[in-house]
Amino acid sequence: MMRQYELVERVTSYDPDADEDMLNRAYVYAMKAHGHQVRASGDPYFTHPLEVAAILTDMKLDDATIAAALLHDVVEDTEATHQEIEELFGPEIAGLVDGLTKIRRLDLVTKEAAQAENLRKLLLAMARDARVLLVKLADRLHNMRTLDHVKPEKRARIAQETMDIYAPLAGRMGMHAIREELDDISFEALYPEAREGIIKRLETLRAESGDILTNIEERLTEQLATHGINANVTGREKKPASIWRKMQRKDLSLGQLSDIFGFRVIVDNLPDCYRALGVVHTTWRVVPGRFKDYISNPKQNDYRSIHTTIIGPHRKRVELQIRTREMDDIAERGVAAHSFYKDAADPMAAERGVRIQHGDSNAFRWLRSLVESLAEGDHPGEFLEHTRLELFADQVFCFTPKGALIALPKGANAIDFAYAVHTDVGNSCVGCRINGRHAPLMTELANGDEIEIIRSQAQTPPAAWEKVAHTGKARAAIRRATRLAVRDQYAGLGREILERRLARFDAVYESKLASEAFRKLGVASLDDGLAALGRGEVQVRDVLMALGFNADDKKPKRDVRQTRRPASEEGERTIAVRGVNRQLPLRIDPATGAVPGERIVGILTRGEGITIYPIFSAALQKFDEEPDLWVDLAWDDDSLDDLYPARLNVVLHNEVGALGQLTQTIAEGGANIENLQMTSRARDFYNIDLTIEVEDIRHLNRIINELNRKPLISSVARATGEA
C-alpha cells in the first residue's frame, strides 16, 4: 500500500505548489474513516481510494482532485457527512465528493431506467466540473483491475456496464489509454474464449513477423532523419478488444485486418507533421482510401493526428499515426491533458500541472449537447439509448454554406445535420441542398459534404422523422416538438371549452385568471392546464369552481353552439357537439353510429353538411388524402339530452330463444332497438346487424357486457363500417 509521503511526493513532482497539508489530512481522514473495512479481495478498503488517487496522479491532476479521490467513498460507506467534509476540506472538495456520492448510489444496477438515471447524474456532474468524471473513471478502472474477486454474476454485470458506458465515455472524453484498458478487461470478463483465441493468433503473427516491427521502426526513423525531421517512431499492437470489435463491425477475419500492428510517429511541431507525411508518401506507396487528417478536422474528443496507411518496408501494410508530443498527450489522456496546453507558451507546460479548464474543449461541447437533451425531459430509457448511439458512433465531417464544420455520427442524414446546427433549424427544416443540389432529407451524408438547409417557419417536424434520425439530439428534439404540437392542439380545444362555459356566466376568458385557477388544481402551467382540459383529464366544472363560479347554483344564461341535424323520418335528434358552425347540418354515420364519450371526427361533405364518425371507423381511410375535409369535433357534455345510435354485429347460437334473449337484455338495459336485421344464417350460428340507441359509451359498454354474458349469444362487437 502506498505510504502517505509517497502520494504527496507524486503530486508535488508535477505540481510544486500543491497543498501538502491538505493532502496529508485527506489521507489520514480517509484511512481512519474506512477503519477495518475490507474489499472482496480481503485487502483493507482504504487501498481502493488510495489506488484511485494514484491513477489520477499519473494524469497529473491537481491536489483538490487527488483529495476528492481519497475521500470519494467516505460519505457513502462510513459515518462521515457532507457537512463534515466541507468544514474540514472546503466547499470545492466537498462538492466533488458530493457529486461522486450521488452517482454511486445507483451504480452497477441492471434495470435500464436506473442505469440511465445513473448516467444522467454523471453527465450533469461532469458538466459542472470535469474532475468528477476523471475521479469516476479512475474509480471504475481500479474496480475493473480487481474484478476477479467479484462473484461471477456480478462480474458480468459490471463488465457489461463498463463496456456499454464507461469505456466509450472515456473514449469520447479523449482518454484513449483508460478506454483501452477498460475495454480489454471487460472483454476478458464477458468473452474469455474469444479473447484467448485472438491472443493465440497474435502470438503466431509475432512469431512469423520476427523482428519486423523493430526493422520498420528503424527504417522510418532513418528516412525521416535524412530529411531533417526529429521523430520518435514506436510500434504498437492493437488490443484484443479493439481487434474483436473491428472484426464484428466489418465482418472480417483476423487475417484480413491490416492494422493489427501500427506505428506512431511523434515529431516536435505541427509543420513537421506534414513534412513527415510528405516523406512517407514519397518514399512508400500509399494505400488508397486510408488517409485521414484529424489535425485539420479534430475529432469531437479533441483528438488530433494524421492517419495514413502505406506499403512499407518488407512490403508490409503499415498504419501510421503522425502527431506532435502535445497531440499525443491529449490523445492518451484526453480532457486530463487538454487544459495543460490551453494557456501554455510551450508544450512542456504540461509537466508543471494546471487545473482543469475545459470551456473550449470539443469533448465538452459534445457533453453540453447531451446535457441539453436532459433538459428536454426524455424518458430515462430513451436517453440511455440515444447516449449509447452518440458514444459508439464513428464520425463524418460536413460543412454549412458559410464553412462551419459540423461533426456527425456515421450514417447521419440532413435531418441530423439541421438539428446539429440548431434545434430551431431542425424544427423548421423542409428540404436541403447537398453540394448545391436538391436531395432528400434522408440522404446519408459523406465526409466533406456541404449542406444547405431549406426552412419554413410554418413547418412542424413529422413524428416519423424520429425513426430516420440517427443522433440522440435530433430524436429528442423531434419527439419534443411532436409532443408540443399535440399539446397545442388540445390546449386550443381546452381554451374553447373554457371560453364557452364562461360565456354562460357573462364572463370572458383571461389568461392570468385561468393560469391561477389551474395552479389551484395542481397544474404547473396554463398551456398544460388547457391541454389537460382538452383531453378531458381536468373537468371544466373544477376549473369554474377554481375561478370562483358555482356551476351547480347558477343556470346558463343562453344556449351556446348547440346544433341539431335536420328532422328526418325517424324524428329530430339533437346532436350536441362542439367545434362546428351551428348552421351546418349534422348527421351521424349510420354504418357505425356514434355515442357520447368516444372520440369523434367530422367529414365535410360539400352541400350536405358534416357526417360524424367514431375515430375507429374504417370509412375514414378513404379521406386520408383529403385533410381539408376533416373537422375536429368533441361532444358537448353540457347539452347531452338525447339517445344516440350505435351499430353492433351480433352472432347468436341457432337455438330457440336466442333472439328473445338478445332483445330482452337490451330492453332491461334501458336502450332502444332502432334497427335489427339478420344478415346470414348457418347451421349453428346466425348473424344480426343491430342498431341500438343509448345515452353514452358507458351505457353502451354495460349493455355489450351483459349481452356477452348470455349463453345463447356468441359475440357482440361494434360495427366499424366499410372502407
Q: What is the pLDDT of residues 512-531, one digit of tens each?
A: 888 888 888 888 888 888 88
Distance CA 26, CA 94 (A): 12
Q: What mean pLDDT comes out for the span 461-482?
A: 85
Residue extents of the structural domains in the chain: 4-191, 194-352, 393-470, 481-546, 563-639, 644-718
What 8-state DSSP symbol labels residue 21? Answer: H
Residue 368 binned pLDDT confidence (cut-offs 50, 70, 90): low
**Which sequence positions are flagged as catalytic?**
76-77
Q: Does the pLDDT value for residue 83 go beyond 70?
A: yes
pLDDT score recorded for residue 563: 32
Give the residue-averaged pLDDT of 682-698.
87
Q: Does 122 score more than 80 pLDDT?
A: no
The CATH number of the domain covering residues in 644-718? 3.30.70.260
Does the pLDDT at position 198 exceed 60?
yes
Listing DSSP states for 132-179 in one string gives HHHHHHHHHHHHHHTGGGS-HHHHHHHHHHIIIIIHHHHHHTT-HHHH
- Residue-level pLDDT at 53: 93
Least confident of 191-195, 356-360, 472-476, 489-493: 356-360
Q: Are 420 and 366 in contact (CB under 8 A)?
A: no
Task: Give pLDDT, residue 120.
Answer: 61
Q: How many CB atoms lie within 10 A of CB 477?
A: 26
Segment 419-448 shows an average pLDDT of 89
* 3 state SS of 436: coil
Alpha helices in 393-460 (DSSP H): 414-421, 423-427
Distance CA 34, CA 46 (A): 6
Comparing C-alpha atoms, which of 458, 484, 482 is closest to residue 469? 482
All three cell numbers of 56, joined, read 489520477
CATH code 3.30.460.10 for 194-352:
yes
228-244 pLDDT, tens digit per residue, is 999 999 887 778 888 88
Average pLDDT of the chain? 79
Decide which of 456 and 567 is more confident. 456
DSSP letter string, 674-685: EEEEEEEE-SSE
Read off the pLDDT of residues 244-256 as tens digits, 9 standing for 90 and up.
877 766 666 666 6
* List of E strands, 173-260: 231-237
8-state DSSP, 387: H
Residue 347: its pLDDT value, please?
38
Query: What ranges in 640-684 are assigned the alpha helix state H?
Result: 658-668
Q: Which three cell numbers stand for residue 125?
A: 456532474
Per-residue model confidence (pLDDT) at position 230:
92
Between CA 403 and CA 415 the distance in angstroms is 18
The domains spanning 4-191 and 393-470 adopt the same CATH topology = no
Supply the pTM of this predicted model. Answer: 0.52
Cell (9 digits) for 466: 424520429
**What is the rounded average pLDDT of the residues 12-35?**
91
Among 121-125, 159-163, 211-215, 278-282, which is the least confidently predicted range? 121-125
Least confident span in 202-216, 376-390, 451-465, 620-634? 376-390
pLDDT band at 19; cut points 50, 70, 90: very high
Asked if pLDDT for residue 723 goes beyond 70, the answer is: no
Under the banding of pLDDT at 50, 70 and 90, the label for residue 51 is very high
Residue 633 has a pLDDT of 85
Cell numbers placing 1: 500500500
* Residue (of 664, 654, 705) closest to 684 by Cα position: 654
CATH topology of domain 393-470: Ubiquitin-like (UB roll) (3.10.20)
Residue type, position 119, single letter? L
Roughly what angle, to the nearest 10 degrees, separates helices 130-145 and 47-58? 120
Higher pLDDT, 228 or 501: 228
Query: Closest Cα to residue 119, out of 467, 462, 367?
Result: 367
Q: Are strands 609-614 and 586-588 parallel, antiparallel or unpaired?
A: parallel
Q: What burial class does residue 191 get, using C-beta atoms within 10 Å of its C-beta: 0-12 exposed, 13-18 middle, 19+ buried?
A: middle
Rg (CA), the chain: 35
- List helix spans (H) across 376-447: 380-392, 414-421, 423-427
With bands split at pLDDT 50, 70 and 90, how would you rate the model's confidence at 351?
A: very low
pLDDT at residue number 648: 93
Residue 574 banded pLDDT, cuts 50, 70, 90: low
Which pLDDT score is estimated for 551? 59
Task: For residue range 405-415, list pLDDT tens digits in order.
Answer: 787 877 889 99
Rounded CA-CA distance 631/625 in Å is: 14
Q: Return the percentage of the chain with pLDDT > 70, whole number.
A: 80
Reported confidence tier of residue 425, pLDDT bands at 50, 70, 90? very high
**CATH superfamily of the 4-191 domain:** Hypothetical protein af1432 (1.10.3210.10)
Q: Which of 278, 125, 254 is nearest to 199 (CA)?
A: 254
